[in-house]
Amino acid sequence: MNSSPILEVVVTARPSWARVKHLVLNYASLHGPEKIRVSLVGPAVSKRYGDISKQIPDWLKVFQFPALHDSDELDAVALTCIEGANALVRHWAQNRPDCVLVIADRTETLGVSMSAALMQIPLIHLQGGEISGSIDDKIRDTNSKLADFHLTTNEFTKKRLIEIGEPEDLIRVVGCPSIDIVNEVMNLKDRIQLTQEELSGVGNNFDLKSKYGIVMFHPDTLNESQNMIWIKEIINSIEISGINWFWFWPNPDHGTNSISKEIRHSREVGKLERVKFIINLPPEKFVQLVCNSKIMVGNSSFGIRESSFLGLPVVNIGKRQNGRQRSSNVIDLEDSTRSSELSSIIKSNLEKTYPQSTLYGDGTSGFKAAKCIGEWVPRVKIRKI
């Protein structure tokens, strides 16, 4: 008899599926497909920000809960979280799992953790203990305090979880399962072939064999006034860079509408002619696209985490990722008063390569995480006196 727990993984946004895909696949392989299911909530099923429902394997039991408010105002962000929580509570009242896994630190995840905690469903938190430097820190630490079991990245994040009061015996260091996908793509004998049809979006359909960079810039909700300074400088810098660019649309966070408006205006007046804008790609195809790129610019955690394993040069701008552990591939440009330096930094780092780092994982995290969950007896933690 298989005594491993029935696990429900809740995915709230497009990048989060990549973080748990190998965990889910390994859990099904180790414990049986009947022991794993996925719920997609809010932005994860939004066409505007990248509906990932078609990326989920057909054999996997999937529930979908559209809950995204079509606004980036703070009240809409809060309502998206609350309405996602409301949907999950009603769902779990009829389909209670043995345990729930919540991912990292997006605002919507707070509703996941809150619902599981109040319903006394044992909660697993993936990627707690990290520090970024944005509103994510508050969300991430709250998720960690509500969690009953932790799958964390490395010894530094484990130490930090202990510092905020989490019992060491409930923490397992497994790395980041998204690194598994990067490792898999890098080691394919036959590389994934990308086509223009797959790279749907707007903008220039340039030759994929040409030199190109990647832009991933999301709103910094704690430094909102600087968002427009950075976005204008990114536009200026990539215009004069001499190479082509893939620009991935910003996340549905507070401030995204202003960024999107500036991008659209620049396109309308004839700028950004060497740019292709994309909303979303399946994880493996996205990684392949990044593998063939020469540089990444922006403030996405992908530049800090997964790109360290690739050794890709990344110009990390602003304060959104301030506290994250870094490898040598990251070139920081934090101060917006130095934004005019961006163009020269891009030029001087174009096509550089850096040593591969296993700071965030070695490509086996999904298996380690799935094994740890299967061995855990789900229970709600009780403070030791």
- CA 245 vs CA 10, 293, 351, 364: distances in Å: 32, 9, 14, 31
- Which helix (H) or strand (E) segment is 46 a member of? none
Q: Strand, coil or helix: what is 196?
A: coil
**pLDDT averaged over the chain?**
94
- What is the average pLDDT across 66-84? 91
The yes-or-no verdict on residue 1 having pLDDT over 60 is: no
- Burial classification of residue 320, based on how many CB atoms lie within 10 Å of its CB (0-12 exposed, 13-18 middle, 19 or more buried): buried
pLDDT value at 2 more than 80:
no
What percent of the chain shows pLDDT beyond 90? 81
pLDDT at site 84: 97
- Whole-angstrom Cα Rg for the chain: 20
C-alpha to C-alpha distances, 37 to 5, 50, 63, 252, 370, nearest whole angstrom: 11, 20, 8, 25, 13
pLDDT for residue 225: 84
Between CA 34 and CA 305 the distance in angstroms is 32
Q: What one-character DSSP code corresponds to residue 373?
A: H
The pTM of the whole model exceeds 0.95 = no
Range in 30-39, 84-93, 183-192, 340-349 with the lowest mean pLDDT: 183-192
Report the distance separating Cα 39 and Cα 224, nearest Å: 31
SS3 215: strand
The domains located in the chain, with CATH, are 7-176+361-375 (3.40.50.2000), 188-349 (3.40.50.2000)
Model confidence at 240: pLDDT above 80: yes
Q: Cα–Cα distance between 375 and 172 in angstroms, integer? A: 11
* Predicted confidence (pLDDT) per residue in 334-362, tens digit: 998 888 999 999 999 998 999 999 999 99
Tell me the pLDDT tens digit for each residue of 356-382: 999 999 999 999 999 999 999 999 998
CA-based torsion, 195, 276, 19, 68: positive or negative? negative
